[in-house]
Structure 1
Amino acid sequence: MADDDDYVCNDDVLISTEDLLSSALKLVPTAVEKAKLVKGFQAKWKMIISKLEQIPSRLSDLSCHPCFSKNTLCKEQLQTVSITLKEVIQLAETSIAEKFEGKLQMQSDLDALIGKLDLNLKDCSLLIKTGMLVDVTVPVSIPISISPSPHGNIRELLARLQIGHLESKQKALETLIEIMRDDEKMVFSVLGRSNVAALVQLLTATSPRMREMTVSVLCSLAESGSCENWLISEGILPPLIRLLESGSSFGKEKAVISLQRLSMSPETARSIVGHGGIRPLTEICRFGDSVVQSSAACTLKNISTLPDARQTLADESVVKLMIELLNIGSLLGTKEYAAECLQNLTSTNDSLRKAVISAGGVKSLLDYIDSPFPQEPAIGAVKNLVSLMSIEVLTSMGLIQRLVHVLKSGSPGAQQSAAATVCKICGSIEIKRLMGEAGCIPFLIKMLEGKTYTGREMAAQAISILIVVPQNCREVKKDDKSVPNLVQSLDPSLQNTAKKYAIVCLTAISTSKRCKKGMISYGAIGYLKKLSEMEVVGAKKLLDRLERGKIRSFFSRK
């Protein structure tokens, strides 16, 4: 605004706002009169005159605001307008006397003057229309710690981001960042949409320093999740993507962290694709440091949840990139994002599944599964791929041992995917035998105690497939938890989808007197009666077998 070093000109600190208004209004007719006397550059001077004639009404509107006489922003705006009017008068006199240094220089001076007038008019309108005039009288130079109204001080700083020259905006932004270091939540609590819009506009400032400070504030705002809709609607995505392409290291880091958070929304993720964000994100993954690489991988993972974006990702070589990150990613989180991206890409599309297989993705996924606490994405991706590979190749790569490892040590989601994979690959008696010998059955039985219906269903289904092998059936009979867990899986509620597989398993082990006795003692007959009424396959047959055994046991005691 008026001065680059101070928000309020020192010479005018003691002058009242009303006196500044009167001074500015007196300068307008003089400036118009002088401008009309200029003979050269008529088109530009007509533009200047047109803008000068708008000033009185803008200043009049400004003076009608209740906070006009007390607000430092009003005072500074009047000072700035007066300085511009004096420049108009001076340049007009120079033109009339024809004492200017060449036509090109005069044309440049006129363009600069038109720009200042435009800015003055725009700032007056902003002060009037956007509601930024609050009762704040504390200058920015006073520390926030001694301000009687911290919220008012913050609002003034936010207002300064919308009005004035770049230098004054930069100083306001620097002060705002200092305040945010102490109390970020207080700053966010007073943010309005117009403030967010002003910050987004500053992302395209010519000053690299200004862009870095702005993206730092916007990154914090995006991570807070408090203004996500405003950020998107005010157009934050294109400048963030440009920062990815050509910003400084700091700017790229803050931009990609912002995109990571914003891309959690499917609509925003789709917009990132539409604005050409995939390629710069892949470049960050390839050449960025570990932090930005992880954020870029996460953003691509978020985009991969969109079925209509998956082919676009594949066209940008994201499949090979994610496999590389699985192999050489320096952060565990980066590898997890890569695995999840591959899981999403292979969830529905056979051509993408083949692309992952041909690029060596299965081996990379299996190697990653060897971690001490395997998570769901990697084994989920493997589950998506096994149907397109021969079982001989899969067993030679150590799939069976990895499945047992996941069933033993993986997260609940990973265990569920591992059980589903067991169901997929066990098409032959030989594989069923190998799975049993590898020791998976006790872990599947334990999974029946899980909290989710789907997890229990997958475990029960896998056991029902493996139990057809006599050796595996003996393993189930030997496990002390098999009967109680399988009986609990007979729960007739509609949500329990494991019951039909539990019936198969219990029928298979009902040849054992010990197991049959255990079924009866754990209440299987009551469950089976309800299931028989529901006409669940196999329930009536198992019920009859248990009841006959119960009758024989009764008479043997007699």
Structure 2
Amino acid sequence: MHPADLQPPSSAAVAPLQILLNLINETLSSLLLSSLAVRSFVGRWQVLHAKLTSLHSTISEISDSPHWAENPLLHTLLPNLLSTLQRLKALSDQCTDSSFSGGKLLMQSDLDMASASLCNQLADLDLLLRSGVLHQSNAIVLSHPGPGSGKEDLGFFIRDLFTRLQIGGVEFKKKALESLLQLFADDEKSASLVAREGNVAYLIYLLDFNHNHPSVREQAAFAISALAAANDEARKCVFEEGGLGPLLRILETGSTVLKEKAAIAVEAITADPENAWAVSAYGGVSVLIEACRSGSPATQTHAVGAIRNVANVEDIKMTLGEEGAVPVLLQVLVSGISAAQEKAASCVAVLASSGEYFRALIIQERGLQRLMHLMQDISSSDTLEHVLRSIISLSSSDHTARILSSSTIFIIQLGELIKRGNLIQQQLAASLVGYLSISDGNKRAIGSCMGSLVKLMESPKPVGLQESAAQALVSMLTVRSNRKELARDEKSVMKLVQMLDPRNEAVAKTFPVMVVAAIIGGGSQGCRKRLLAAGVSTHLQRLSEMEVAGAKKALQRLAGNRLKTIFSRTWRE
């Protein structure tokens, strides 16, 4: 609120309000009597008499409130109410006069309009009373609560704020919304209290293009966006009060600024799967896709985020394909800002894992080529992870797998990720190396990543990492030069020995056994000797006795010629 609004009114300002209240009471008392004496339109006046009786009770309650004269809303409400009552008094005098011969339709219209005004003003006064702000000093209520304010003071402030929002004119509404936005900026936790104490449904009503001033609508959009993005409770409140539909309409037809705020709110609301399904009910899928296609960078980013949320809802997923989401998402991958790229990559990964229908759409739109190209330029590790997941899903097609397997640049990128990426990237890259039918030449080209794969086999987390690393190694060890290189790597061999040790419970024994079997699978005497010298046979013997899969066969291969020599010597003797 502006500083002028924070000061309690002076006694000079209170006096006119008291005079107004006295005039209202006099006019109201006279009306209550005259409304019973009318001779025309008796039915309408009976209804009006009931409303006037209710108003009399409300006015009495207001005058009994300790701080009623300090509330600036009454400076607008009371003069308007007096005007309505005076108009009704004039109409009652005409209806009481037996000689009245005016137009019947005109009198009905005048009575209906006056009655409607009285209803609205009575509702505003009742709202003001229910808020409780007339029972607390204006100077306290309108002051912006400081950092140490208690929930009670903050609750009073919020109720007063929403009272002004609902009762006041454009300026009152604008100032109330300014205070609400300032409250969100100063105290992130205030959103939950606003959701509980404020009238969020009315805040959503202010988004209506047909009934509200543009500046009020814009501030309301800002407030709802901040509220929806604040926390789960506030987001749930915005959704349950019917906010999603109006926000989608703004996203479709609003100004650039309004679209950006609406997109933020829609993304936040759809983060809850229980809310995301409603996007389809409001016809919002096409709206979100169009916002991705033609919106500002900020709008596009949050609209893509909302589509990503919707993509996780099975009942709506197919609609995304039918409405043309895939080519738009792939375009964002190429031309969007970094944040939009990440969300688009996440969404494409979700769709690519959803079945052949979406995989075919992505491939049809040259999605594989775009994803492979994007790998060279990505700076965001999260985006790269989503891209790799998408490629893994697409590789289930034989045609796609052949394209990936034959791309030397792509294979080398996988090798570099295994060496230098984070654990998730390493796992994803290793799973591709283990799955694809890579040529011997390309396997030799990435031979330097084998040491990293051995190291990855030691890590129990994330789940599946050991298996992915072992399978990648087994694939690469089909090349003779790679087997020799790994066997000469003393550090890697010692790691394998440690992993084979039955006392080492951090590693599933099947995986190091697979790798040892692959190293000696080509029959190289040099590889056998190095493994034997490192002490592999002792652990394999124990694992064979424990009936670990593959251990007995690996032990036999490792012993190979040595056993034959022993058996031959025994036979001769």
TM-score range, shorter chain: 0.7 to 0.9
User: Mean Cα displacement is larger for which, 203-212 or 388-397?
Assistant: 388-397
Matches within 5 A, 1:255-274: 255-274=262-281
| Residue 415 (structure 2) aligns with | 404
| Residue 555 (structure 1) aligns with | none
- Report the residue type matching 2:453 in the other structure: L
User: Mean Cα displacement is larger for which, 274-283 or 367-376?
Assistant: 367-376
- Report the residue type matching 2:207 in the other structure: L
Deviations 1:358-395 (A, max 9, x none): 11100011111112545210111011011214244334
| Residue 516 (structure 1) aligns with | 532
Matches within 5 A, 1:29-44: 29-34=29-34
Residue 425 of structure 1, CA deviation: 1.9
Residue 352 of structure 1, CA deviation: 0.9
| Residue 431 (structure 2) aligns with | 420
| Residue 483 (structure 2) aligns with | 473
Deviations 1:282-340 (A, max 9, x none): 111111111211111111112212233211111110111111112222x1221221111
User: Mean Cα displacement is larger for which, 192-201 or 133-142?
Assistant: 133-142
Name the SS of the counterpart of 1:197 in structure 2: helix
Say whether 1:117 aligns with 2:118: yes
- Residue in structure 1 matching 2:207, options 191, 203, 207: 203
Matches within 5 A, 1:125-524: 125-129=126-130, 135-138=136-139, 151=154, 154-155=157-158, 157-161=160-164, 163-167=166-170, 169-177=172-180, 179-180=182-183, 183-185=186-188, 187-188=190-191, 190-195=193-198, 196-204=200-208, 205-225=211-231, 227-329=234-336, 331-371=337-377, 373=379, 375-390=384-399, 391-396=401-406, 398-426=409-437, 431=439, 434-439=442-447, 440-450=449-459, 451-487=461-497, 489-490=499-500, 499-509=509-519, 511-520=527-536
Residue 343 of structure 1, CA deviation: 0.7
Q: Distance in 1 between matches of 2:49 and 2:228?
A: 44
Deviations 1:539-558 (A, max 9, x none): 3455688899999xxxxxxx
User: Mean Cα displacement is larger for which, 263-272 or 166-175?
Assistant: 166-175
Q: Distance in 1 between matches of 2:282 and 2:94?
A: 52
Q: Distance in 2 between matches of 1:15 and 1:186?
A: 40
| Residue 54 (structure 2) aligns with | 54
Residue 203 of structure 1, CA deviation: 2.5
- Report the residue type matching 2:528 in the other structure: S
Q: Distance in 1 between matches of 2:359 and 2:556?
A: 47
| Residue 14 (structure 1) aligns with | 14
- Report the residue type matching 1:209 in the other structure: S
Q: Is the 8 A contact 1:262 1:268 kept in 2?
A: yes
Q: Is the 8 A contact 2:131 2:159 kept in 1?
A: no
Q: Distance in 1 between matches of 2:471 and 2:406?
A: 25
Higher alpha-carbon Rg: 2
Q: Is the 8 A contact 1:70 1:136 kept in 2?
A: yes
Residue 72 of structure 1, CA deviation: 6.0
Q: Distance in 2 between matches of 1:103 and 1:206?
A: 34
Q: Is the 8 A contact 1:130 1:194 kept in 2?
A: no
Residue 212 of structure 1, CA deviation: 0.8
Say how many residue pairs are matched.
Answer: 537
Name the SS of the counterpart of 2:510 in structure 1: helix
The TM-score normalised by the length of structure 2 is: 0.78
Q: Distance in 2 between matches of 1:394 and 1:457?
A: 21
Residue 460 of structure 1, CA deviation: 1.5
- Pick closer, same or farther for the CA change 1:115–1:237 going to 2, 3 Å: farther
Q: Distance in 2 between matches of 1:20 and 1:418?
A: 79
- Residue in structure 2 matching 1:538, options 550, 553, 556: 550
Name the SS of the counterpart of 1:191 in structure 2: helix
Q: Distance in 1 between matches of 2:32 and 2:446?
A: 93
- Report the residue type matching 1:173 in the other structure: A
Q: Is the 8 A contact 2:87 2:114 kept in 1?
A: no
- Report the residue type matching 1:263 in the other structure: T
Q: Distance in 2 between matches of 1:49 and 1:549?
A: 114
Name the SS of the counterpart of 1:14 in structure 2: helix
Q: Distance in 2 between matches of 1:102 and 1:212?
A: 45
Identity %: 27
Q: Distance in 2 between matches of 1:504 and 1:79?
A: 85
User: Mean Cα displacement is larger for which, 500-509 or 449-458?
Assistant: 449-458
- Residue in structure 2 matching 1:83, options 80, 83, 99: 80
Cα-Cα RMSD: 4.4
Name the SS of the counterpart of 1:69 in structure 2: coil
Q: Is the 8 A contact 1:483 1:518 kept in 2?
A: yes
Name the SS of the counterpart of 2:395 in structure 1: helix
Residue 187 of structure 1, CA deviation: 4.7
Gaps of 5+ in 1: 552-558
Residue 21 of structure 1, CA deviation: 6.5
Name the SS of the counterpart of 1:387 in structure 2: coil
Residue 462 of structure 1, CA deviation: 1.7
- Pick closer, same or farther for the CA change 1:491–1:108 going to 2, 3 Å: farther
Residue 75 of structure 1, CA deviation: 7.9
Deviations 1:239-277 (A, max 9, x none): 111110121211111110122223222122222233222
| Residue 566 (structure 2) aligns with | none
Q: Distance in 2 between matches of 1:453 and 1:504?
A: 18
Name the SS of the counterpart of 1:537 in structure 2: coil
